[in-house]
Chain A
Amino acid sequence: MAETMVAAPRQPAEGAPVLSVRDLSVEFDTRDGIRPVVQNVSLDVYAGRTLAVLGESGSGKSVTARSVMGLIDPPGRITGGQVQFGGRDLVTVSAEERRLVSGEQIAIVFQDALSALNPVFTVGEQIAELLRTRRGLNRRAAAAGAVELMARVRIPAAKQRAKEYPHQFSGGMRQRAMIAMALALEPTVLIADEPTTALDVTVQAQIMDLLLDLQDETGMGMILITHDLGVVAETADTLAVMYAGRIVERGRVDDVFARPAHPYTRGLLHSIPRLDREDEALWAIPGSPPTVLSRVAGCAFANRCDVAIDLCTTSRPDLTQVLPAGRASACHRHEEVLHGRV
């Protein structure tokens, strides 16, 4: 029951990214025709650093994550762009090569650990199987390795718990087991898709603390998919805000929180109540996030935006650089928003 410090911010990453998504577009066939779900998304992930992808339901954040993992199946398909990893473009490599990369060098942890674990095998067996098939360990070494990994993700009494089935694990322990499986192959990049959304707040704190420590130990790059601004502020280094399938703002976390350059980011930051103060009324963004089925000509946020002008409904703003250090915003009025003039 340790008293710990919320992790201090890290130095900006140096060197080349370990994973780069360039102009990724994904569409889905629906009953109402082909719909773009992700459009022209570009992301950079650096070793030892966390990129948060923040968005609401339908923003395309999870589809983006799944595209990187190669988990887009019909009726969805990647229609453009690249996923650069280890000198290859994962979008165009052979299925065999892809299989070696995703799962081994890029791992993913999902929100719902119960449905990701096999109910008829013990947790230890499932981790051990991974070590046997992918790392070529023998049975005995794999079993020992599984226990070791479970201890590493701080599952108490790991040796006993390895013999238990997923249903005997609590939500937090199941998520630890999932993280152990993701770590088993020492991935270069870990994608955490809403890893703590289903968990209680005290357990969420344990899991985020664990992920940060593991990242410091292994130097893995992390993509954190989330809707929680608090989790972003405390764990991520850089941030991409998604809205209606596109990135609308990007930059360093402290920078974006201090001076948002897109009215959607600004609205989100203003609309959350704070634990440490009492506000009279909350700022509320009017309307609802668009569904994938509604497509507009101009900016997708224009109909909810408090500073929209005529131009916004006719012309879609591109994501453009607004400041150094990778600060970008897709807003016709980004200058004014950034400097608080509107």
Chain B
Amino acid sequence: MAASEPVLSVEDLTRHFTGRRAVLPGRPAPAVRAVDGVSFQLHAGETLGIVGESGCGKSTLARMIVGLETPTSGVVRFRGTDVHAVRGRQARELRRRVQIVLQDPYTSLNPRRTVRELLRQPFEIHRDLLPRKQQEARIAELVELVGLDPDHLDRYPFQFSGGQRQRIGIARALALSPDVIVCDEPVSALDVSIQAQVVNLFQRLQRELGLAYVFIAHDLSVVRHISDRVGVMYLGKLAELGSRRDVYDSPRHPYTSALLSAVPMPDPQLRGRRSRRLLEGDPPSPVDPPSGCRFRTRCWKATDECATVEPLLAGDDRHRQAFACHHPMPAQTA
């Protein structure tokens, strides 16, 4: 896996949002450092899960990868080409290869268009891709692929349930045969009994089409299930990055460890037997993040060093697991 050239490469990606006005005259306007130096690689056919709490920058990251947001600095490369530097025909070609599935297809699908029209739209934008005559056949194929009823093609989005709407969103993302799909909380709005259907669909499509996913979610169990590797974000930075087994079974960053211990387990037998580390307070504001390590204000291991020296994401050779911490958790040997 690591030997091949990555299909997607994110290098030191940063996005700052600047307020229009300074709060105090003479001071610069405060900047929200939504994403602040994130790097990772994604290989063909692989799923990289990104977890983190609200405000950690995971959605901004998703939007930059697909080109909906322009980075303040840093590079997103698709098969070696800088996605944000190309223009015109080449840019359109790159956009086609990297698609996005959003959390709520109800707000991302035009309510006045039927499913058929919604699925035809990608071919109207990328006119040279498929002759008009073949479009109907391709639409039928897409509907079949995601498990929608072909008889419902002339219905409108509101006539579908949440799970079916998400299938429409996925079919649309698949229309132009992408290599990468960025999934931003694709199952969090769905009922529990529907989540499994959609997760299974993502996995089947990956097997059949060789897709690579960046799967962004706050549900740690879903991310473990679907991912090959997992990145944990905190306040705009990656705290930890590694294989799902390493990250979940032997978290090295204290934040990862606390996050995992906070997840309630659907097993009453574990009551009174599982310990949990309760973090205090909420994540600090990304407008004025703590100096040094951003997690130090909630970390039980923090020392003076953590306030002055920012820990960099550094790997563990044996595990190929990277973490940004001066005082990592001991590795679990299992």
Q: Which residues of A contact B (CB under 8 A)?
A: 1-9, 56-57, 156, 170-173, 200-206, 208-209, 227-235, 253-254, 257-258, 267-269, 271-276, 278-279, 281-286, 288-289, 304
Contacts and interface: CB of A to CB of B under 8 A. Distances in A.
Contacts, number: 180
Given A5-B276, A201-B259, A257-B268, 14 more contacts: A2-B277, A5-B274, A57-B191, A200-B218, A200-B283, A201-B53, A202-B53, A203-B282, A204-B262, A206-B278, A231-B264, A269-B266, A273-B196, A288-B164
Most chain B CB within a 10 A radius of its CB, from A6, A208, A279: A6
Contact of B279 (A1, A57, A283, A284): A1
A273 B191 CA distance: 14
B281 A156 contact: yes
Given A1-B279, A204-B262, A281 B203 contact: yes
B127 to A, nearest CB: 36
A288 B252 CA distance: 40
A227 B53 contact: no
Given A5-B272, A56-B193, A278-B245, A233 B264 contact: yes
B192 interface: yes
A279 B203 CA distance: 12
Contact of A275 (B194, B224, B245, B282): B224
Interface of B: 53-54, 161-164, 191-197, 199-200, 203, 218, 220-222, 224-226, 244-245, 248, 258-283, 298-300
A2 B300 CA distance: 9
- Per DSSP, are chain B's interface residues mostly helix, strand or loop, or mixed? helix
Given A202-B258, A271-B193, A284-B196, A6 B272 contact: yes
A228 B225 contact: no
A78 to B, nearest CB: 26
B261 to A, nearest CB: 8
A275 B221 contact: yes
B272 A272 contact: no
Contacts of A282: 196, 199-200, 225
A272 B266 contact: yes
A253 to B, nearest CB: 5
A9 B274 CA distance: 12
B279 A56 contact: no
Q: Which of A4, A171, A232, A288 has the most CB of B within 10 A?
A: A288
8 contacts: A1-B258, A1-B280, A3-B277, A156-B281, A254-B269, A281-B200, A285-B196, A285-B197
A172 B193 contact: no
